[in-house]
């Protein structure tokens, strides 16, 4: 079967950073993209804290920058003090929601089953779930990377997953915010494994069509190399997504 083209996605995860004044970075990013002679071939997204989704969506109006959430509850609503539903994020202007980020998995003890239920809730309201997987340093040292990410993928993907409503992000936990990245060979190996697992789980067309992002210390200086690896369909970016200059420097890997 012919391979379905996958449009890359470069998504910024602001984590617990940003205030309303951060809208200026989004506006600056919009200007940088508008000024570029060649338009980026990737989709661009920023996932700010929930308090800013609406504000950043407004700031991004008229630019190709889309907005997403960083997490949601698996229920549509109800007695869950402090939580937020996928529907609420959608109402505020989000197109996608990150689920199962390693910081959620560790800070909030989120299991694959919880992540799976969250992804299903995201799909149920018509948004895209960005499902994160990744091994810890100990697991990597034990040679367990492929087994761990394969199990996380299987356990975190709901039956509702399709190439259209799901994006996978491979983020080695030890590479997040550390400035360290795996070798190109290691990234290629994990992404190829995830691709094979996706085909096994979703079937050929959906598995080949699902985007698999790399995340963990992606910077302007390593983006071209990382984004050039087979089966890497974009990036999930933390620290470097906070300023327009750095984030655009990564998006520039898709301007050529």
Piece in contact with ligand PGA (CB under 6 A), picked from 1-9, 24-32, 194-202, 211-219: 211-219
Cβ atoms within 10 Å of 90's Cβ, excluding its own: 19
- Has 55 been annotated as catalytic? no
Instruction: Give exposure, 53-81, as e/b (b: 16+ Cβ within 10 Å).
Output: bbbbbebbeebbbbbbbbbbbbeeeeeee
Cβ atoms within 10 Å of 106's Cβ, excluding its own: 11
Piece in contact with ligand PGA (CB under 6 A), picked from 35-43, 75-83, 221-229, 236-244: 236-244
171 in Cβ contact with 236 (< 8 Å): yes
156 in Cβ contact with 194 (< 8 Å): no
Query: Is the Cβ of residue 133 or residue 202 nearer to ligand PGA in the bound state?
Result: 133
**Cα separation, 180 vs 48, whole angstroms:** 24
239 binds ligand PGA (CB under 6 A): yes
Question: Of 122, 216, 226, 246, which one interacts with ligand PGA (CB under 6 A)?
Answer: 216
238 binds ligand PGA (CB under 6 A): yes
177 binds ligand PGA (CB under 6 A): yes
Question: Of 13, 70, 145, 156, which one interacts with ligand PGA (CB under 6 A)?
Answer: 13
Question: Of 89, 127, 223, 236, which one interacts with ligand PGA (CB under 6 A)?
Answer: 236
157 in Cβ contact with 169 (< 8 Å): no
100 binds ligand PGA (CB under 6 A): no
48 binds ligand PGA (CB under 6 A): no
- Has 101 been annotated as catalytic? yes
Least distance CB 159 / ligand PGA (angstroms): 26
User: Nearest-CB residue to ligand PGA?
Assistant: 238
Question: Of 165, 166, 217, 231, which one interacts with ligand PGA (CB under 6 A)?
Answer: 217
- Give the rounded distance of the alpha carbon of 26 from its chain centre: 18
Query: Is the Cβ of residue 53 or residue 130 nearer to ligand PGA in the bound state?
Result: 130
CA-based end-to-end distance of the chain: 28
Residue 245 is inside which H or E element, if any? helix 244-251
**Cα separation, 222 vs 241, whole angstroms:** 14
Question: Of 71, 87, 110, 171, which one interacts with ligand PGA (CB under 6 A)?
Answer: 171
Tokens 């995201």 correspond to what residue? 122
């Amino acid at each position: 079967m012919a391979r379905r083209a996958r449009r890359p996605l470069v998504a910024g995860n602001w984590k617990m950073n940003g205030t309303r004044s951060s809208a200026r970075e989004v506006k600056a990013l919009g200007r940088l993209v508008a000024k570029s002679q060649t338009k980026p071939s990737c989709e661009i997204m920023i996932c700010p804290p929930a308090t800013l989704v609406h504000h950043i969506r407004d700031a991004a109006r008229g630019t190709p920058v889309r907005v997403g959430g960083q997490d949601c509850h698996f229920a549509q609503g109800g007695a869950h003090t402090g939580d937020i539903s996928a529907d609420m994020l959608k109402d505020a202007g989000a197109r996608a929601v990150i689920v199962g980020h390693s910081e959620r998995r560790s800070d909030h003890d989120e299991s694959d089953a919880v992540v799976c239920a969250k992804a299903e809730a995201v799909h149920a309201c018509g948004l895209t779930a960005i499902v994160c997987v990744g091994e810890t340093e100990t697991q990597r040292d034990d040679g367990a990377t492929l087994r761990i990410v394969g199990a996380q993928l299987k356990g975190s993907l709901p039956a509702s997953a399709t190439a259209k409503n799901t994006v996978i992000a491979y983020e080695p936990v030890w590479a997040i915010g550390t400035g360290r990245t795996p070798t190109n060979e290691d990234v290629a190996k994990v992404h190829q494994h995830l691709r094979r697992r996706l085909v096994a789980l979703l079937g050929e067309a959906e598995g080949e069509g699902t985007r698999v992002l790399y995340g963990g210390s992606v910077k302007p200086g390593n983006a071209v190399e990382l984004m050039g690896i087979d089966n890497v369909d974009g990036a999930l970016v933390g620290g470097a997504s906070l300023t327009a200059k750095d984030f655009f420097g990564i998006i520039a890997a898709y301007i050529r």
